[in-house]
A and B are shown apart, each in its own frame.
Chain A
């Protein structure tokens, strides 16, 4: 259908359809960047411009084939985006957005001033894509490319990398703990969005046959962003919807507003801006979810069998007794206050160690030191015999350390299965491109199977398709543990896994931990529930005021007077 459309449309609509297709391309990139990964850019139009000028210079002035122009445009844009991403990668998202304003204006002013680019007079007579053909053929190419890119983006979102991208949006620490290199991934997404824009720029130059700096300014960049917000930043279909609405409305406004006000001007921007503000206040997910509600919901895929396997094949074996974790006299200070002071601790394969102590004793800080969230001020951490004190969380995860969080960190609006599968991130290798081209299916299926197995093992079989955020807190904790097990860890760090669990759930968790111990996994858990700790731990370490005050078998520790004092407290 889309391919035939160019043949049937009158010329004016050919242009309009081309603009919608091109805008959709840019907007798709912004959906990935903004809606999915929680970053944004006010500079996409300058990427469009870079590629458009690159192909123009090569085809018009140097007489090369458009293919060369395409490759050059993608390379230049990709390289510049990569550099800009490098600079802002570690800063909060709004810095990237602010810088994007600056580069948007800089490029715009460069396009307008570099003598080579003929300033605002622009460059005309750019050869068409296929020699001797007109806009209709190019429109066909645009619509085809748009369809392909949209499919590839959908493929990407439905993949290991796509899931990882969602952790960039406000859950980076969790992502990193699953072994995702969040800094690198956010840069990749940014470059990808820039490449989409570059593709649009290349097509734009050959479609229009003429370019000048005007359509590559800040205003256009913001139009693209408005399209995404109007359409719906979280769904790919929001991109064409928003693009079509903005382009068509703008076209109408251009006719009507001068007649109404007697003045030419950028009034449609005013109207769009008000629409965007109201949408962000009232319907931050854009129009797509509202539209989707009009259609009857297609029933969820075949209900997953509720029968939970009780036992699953054992993950990576380790010889019992081997030292997995060795923390040696670590300290960590926060502005003069010692949260952890000279604590030593070890966990061996096939051992469950419980870390207890009053709230604020430094247990979570110690956890963060082990899992790479914090670096120790002094002392060493060895994992599996290797120094690990200054590794970042995703590298620690890659060593085979999985963790859960005291305050549950899940992607609330994604399914339980997707959340659990995040834990299996490291058992796959397919990146952005393989996912987009669907070359990752075998791996992806294996990965999801593994996630299902782990979820069923913890009794989540009936809930795989539910949104994680809809589950009660206790079950959310179980999802976290399933996710951690998906990592096939050799060492498991659990931060208050039993908090908020019902008695039956606690017993089930205890049984699971014992089974993991039998499989040779080392477990370090922070827990307040003494019954639970006493029932499952081989060894208990007690902390108070950042220091270790006791260590030993549960019965032994329980009778320790220092522990009684720390735990039960006395009042004069």
Chain B
């Protein structure tokens, strides 16, 4: 049960990331799970005193982005895709040898987060007006790209991210691990921070506006390319965070993220790809069901979770009536 709630919290984070990206850009962000694995493995590699390949990947792709858009917006682009990777690379080279857990985690977040906007820049922005289906196929293809890259950089072995805390607590009869509490606390802090971001800041409101009415957003001067990048940045930050959190509980390999990402999907679909509270309920349900499943019938665990989709979709389908022209 405790495991169920912890993993449920992770699914919730992923579901939030998926919903943000989908509502702002209509992209179903399949490779979010791969970024989660990147988060875990980058932190683990740093913790072992090595420089993760993802850093070089970030440098390379950023350089490409810089090269392509140099002539258009030199200053801002240079800051984003030139200075940031440079500073980050220097920092990593300097700090990696200390093998300090918090340092590894923060660096991992800083390395993986910009990958979201880069993915947007290269894979989706050129075809931002394509159908949801075409965007989904691209997203699916990206999963294979990231998984392949992950294998190159991290090899097929599982690795564990550094834990924030090793302590355990007695809570009445229950033995609660400190890391589980960290997961829950991070989840709560993140949700609160996102609430503030979307409710009180102009950029958060701009994202909501884009999700609410694309034309209206363009007409008040909201730059669709920038909001897309922001949505992807949020999603990849969430994925990286989820990665360093869950990676300390369960060791992950390069291809383990996809399955975790899918569970996030199940939760997001329960919210009809639109509602955050329903997705949250879905996430906890998936987490609990999964841990019960692994207790009673571990071999059929995934089958049970995915079968959960069927009644949910049937219900959505009945409610949808004939609203077909949206896609």
Residues of A within 8 A of B (CB): 34, 38-40, 42, 87-95, 97-99, 101-103, 105-106, 109-110, 113, 170, 172-173, 176, 182-183, 222, 225-226, 229, 261, 263, 265-267, 269-270, 272-274, 276-277, 280-281, 284, 392
Among candidates B131, B149, B306, B326, residue contacting A103 with C-beta atoms closer than 8 Å: B306
Q: Which 7 A-B pairs have the closest CB atoms?
A: A270-B148, A273-B144, A102-B306, A92-B327, A273-B141, A113-B299, A269-B144
**Contact assessment for A269 and B148 in the assembled complex, using a CB-CB cutoff below 8 Å:** yes
Q: Which residues of B contact A274 (CB under 8 A)?
A: 141, 145
B321 on the interface (CB 8 Å rule)?
yes
Q: Which residues of B contact A182 (CB under 8 A)?
A: 324
Shortest distance from the beta carbon of A225 to any chain B beta carbon, whole Å: 7
B28 on the interface (CB 8 Å rule)?
yes
Among candidates A87, A95, A263, A270, residue contacting B149 with C-beta atoms closer than 8 Å: A270
Among candidates B28, B151, B307, B310, residue contacting A265 with C-beta atoms closer than 8 Å: B151
Shortest distance from the beta carbon of A233 to any chain B beta carbon, whole Å: 10
Chain B interface category by residue count:
35 or more
Shortest distance from the beta carbon of B300 to any chain A beta carbon, whole Å: 7
B132 on the interface (CB 8 Å rule)?
yes
293-308 of chain B: CB within 8 A of chain A: 299-300, 302-303, 306-307
B246 on the interface (CB 8 Å rule)?
no
**Contact assessment for A280 and B134 in the assembled complex, using a CB-CB cutoff below 8 Å:** yes
B281 on the interface (CB 8 Å rule)?
no
Can you name 27 A-B residue pairings with CB atoms under 8 Å?
A40-B137, A88-B313, A88-B317, A90-B318, A90-B321, A90-B324, A91-B313, A94-B327, A95-B316, A99-B310, A102-B262, A102-B306, A103-B306, A109-B303, A113-B299, A170-B327, A172-B325, A183-B322, A222-B144, A263-B151, A266-B144, A267-B148, A269-B148, A273-B144, A280-B127, A280-B137, A281-B138
Contact with A along B168-192 (1 / 0, CB 8 A): 0000000000000000000000000
**Contact assessment for A102 and B266 in the assembled complex, using a CB-CB cutoff below 8 Å:** yes
**Contact assessment for B303 and A110 in the assembled complex, using a CB-CB cutoff below 8 Å:** yes
Q: Which residues of A contact B316 (CB under 8 A)?
A: 91, 95
Q: Which residues of B contact A109 (CB under 8 A)?
A: 299-300, 302-303
**Contact assessment for B132 and A277 in the assembled complex, using a CB-CB cutoff below 8 Å:** no
B126 on the interface (CB 8 Å rule)?
yes
**Contact assessment for B302 and A90 in the assembled complex, using a CB-CB cutoff below 8 Å:** no
Q: Which residues of B contact A101 (CB under 8 A)?
A: 262, 265
**Contact assessment for A97 and B138 in the assembled complex, using a CB-CB cutoff below 8 Å:** no
**Contact assessment for B314 and A40 in the assembled complex, using a CB-CB cutoff below 8 Å:** no
Of chain A, the residue at the smallest CB distance from B303 is: A106
Of chain A, the residue at the smallest CB distance from B144 is: A273
Q: Which residues of A contact B309 (CB under 8 A)?
A: 99, 102
The interface residues of chain A, by DSSP majority, are classed as helix
Shortest distance from the beta carbon of A496 to any chain B beta carbon, whole Å: 19
B130 on the interface (CB 8 Å rule)?
yes
**Contact assessment for A91 and B156 in the assembled complex, using a CB-CB cutoff below 8 Å:** no
Q: Which residues of B contact A40 (CB under 8 A)?
A: 133, 136-137
**Contact assessment for A272 and B133 in the assembled complex, using a CB-CB cutoff below 8 Å:** no
Q: Measured between alpha carbons, how far is A97 from B156 in the docked complex, in Å?
A: 29
Q: Which residues of A contact B143 (CB under 8 A)?
A: 273
Q: Measured between alpha carbons, how far is A89 from B324 in the docked complex, in Å?
A: 10
B284 on the interface (CB 8 Å rule)?
no
Q: Measured between alpha carbons, how far is A109 from B322 in the docked complex, in Å?
A: 34
B93 on the interface (CB 8 Å rule)?
no
Known: A281-B126, A281-B127, A284-B130. A276 touches B141 (CB 8 A): yes
**Contact assessment for B314 and A269 in the assembled complex, using a CB-CB cutoff below 8 Å:** no
Q: Which residues of B contact A277 (CB under 8 A)?
A: 123, 138, 141-142, 145
Q: Measured between alpha carbons, how far is A229 from B134 in the docked complex, in Å?
A: 10
Q: Measured between alpha carbons, how far is A232 from B327 in the docked complex, in Å?
A: 21
B269 on the interface (CB 8 Å rule)?
yes
Known: A88-B313, A91-B317, A281-B127. A113 touches B300 (CB 8 A): yes
Q: Which residues of A contact B28 (CB under 8 A)?
A: 94, 98
**Contact assessment for A276 and B137 in the assembled complex, using a CB-CB cutoff below 8 Å:** yes
B57 on the interface (CB 8 Å rule)?
no
Of chain B, the residue at the smallest CB distance from A103 is: B306
**Contact assessment for B133 and A269 in the assembled complex, using a CB-CB cutoff below 8 Å:** no
Known: A87-B314, A265-B148. A280 touches B138 (CB 8 A): yes
Known: A91-B313, A222-B144, A225-B137. A106 touches B306 (CB 8 A): yes
Shortest distance from the beta carbon of B176 to any chain A beta carbon, whole Å: 31
Q: Which residues of B contact A97 (CB under 8 A)?
A: 133, 136
Shortest distance from the beta carbon of B307 to any chain A beta carbon, whole Å: 7
Q: Measured between alpha carbons, how far is A277 from B143 in the docked complex, in Å?
A: 11
B140 on the interface (CB 8 Å rule)?
yes
Q: Which residues of B contact A265 (CB under 8 A)?
A: 148, 151, 156
**Given known contacts A173-B325, A281-B127, what 7 new A-B pairs fall within 8 Å (CB)?**
A88-B313, A95-B313, A99-B310, A106-B303, A273-B145, A274-B145, A277-B145
Shortest distance from the beta carbon of B217 to any chain A beta carbon, whole Å: 21
Shortest distance from the beta carbon of A453 to any chain B beta carbon, whole Å: 31
Known: A270-B144, A270-B149. A106 touches B265 (CB 8 A): no
Q: Which residues of A contact B136 (CB under 8 A)?
A: 40, 94, 97-98
Shortest distance from the beta carbon of B100 to any chain A beta carbon, whole Å: 31
Q: Measured between alpha carbons, how far is A201 from B303 in the docked complex, in Å?
A: 22
**Contact assessment for A87 and B156 in the assembled complex, using a CB-CB cutoff below 8 Å:** no
Q: Which residues of A contact B320 (CB under 8 A)?
A: 90-91
Q: Which residues of A contact B326 (CB under 8 A)?
A: 92
Q: Which residues of B contact A94 (CB under 8 A)?
A: 28, 132-133, 136, 327
B147 on the interface (CB 8 Å rule)?
yes
Of chain A, the residue at the smallest CB distance from B318 is: A90
Q: Which residues of A contact B314 (CB under 8 A)?
A: 87
Known: A98-B269, A106-B307, A266-B147. A93 touches B302 (CB 8 A): no
Q: Which residues of B contact A34 (CB under 8 A)?
A: 133
Most interface-central of B127, B130, B143, B151 (chain A CB within 10 A): B151
**Contact assessment for A280 and B306 in the assembled complex, using a CB-CB cutoff below 8 Å:** no
Q: Measured between alpha carbons, how far is A91 from B152 in the docked complex, in Å?
A: 39
Q: Which residues of B contact A113 (CB under 8 A)?
A: 299-300
Q: Which residues of A contact B303 (CB under 8 A)?
A: 106, 109-110
Shortest distance from the beta carbon of B298 to any chain A beta carbon, whole Å: 9
Q: Measured between alpha carbons, how far is A170 from B131 in the docked complex, in Å?
A: 10
Known: A102-B306, A269-B144. A93 touches B132 (CB 8 A): yes
Q: Measured between alpha carbons, how far is A164 from B126 in the docked complex, in Å?
A: 31
Q: Measured between alpha carbons, how far is A93 from B326 in the docked complex, in Å?
A: 9
Shortest distance from the beta carbon of B314 to any chain A beta carbon, whole Å: 5
Q: Which residues of A contact B318 (CB under 8 A)?
A: 90
**Contact assessment for A173 and B324 in the assembled complex, using a CB-CB cutoff below 8 Å:** yes
Shortest distance from the beta carbon of B35 to any chain A beta carbon, whole Å: 15
Shortest distance from the beta carbon of A528 to any chain B beta carbon, whole Å: 24
Shortest distance from the beta carbon of A30 to any chain B beta carbon, whole Å: 11
Q: Measured between alpha carbons, how far is A457 from B325 in the docked complex, in Å?
A: 32
Of chain A, the residue at the smallest CB distance from B326 is: A92
**Contact assessment for A273 and B148 in the assembled complex, using a CB-CB cutoff below 8 Å:** yes
Q: Which residues of A contact B262 (CB under 8 A)?
A: 101-102, 105
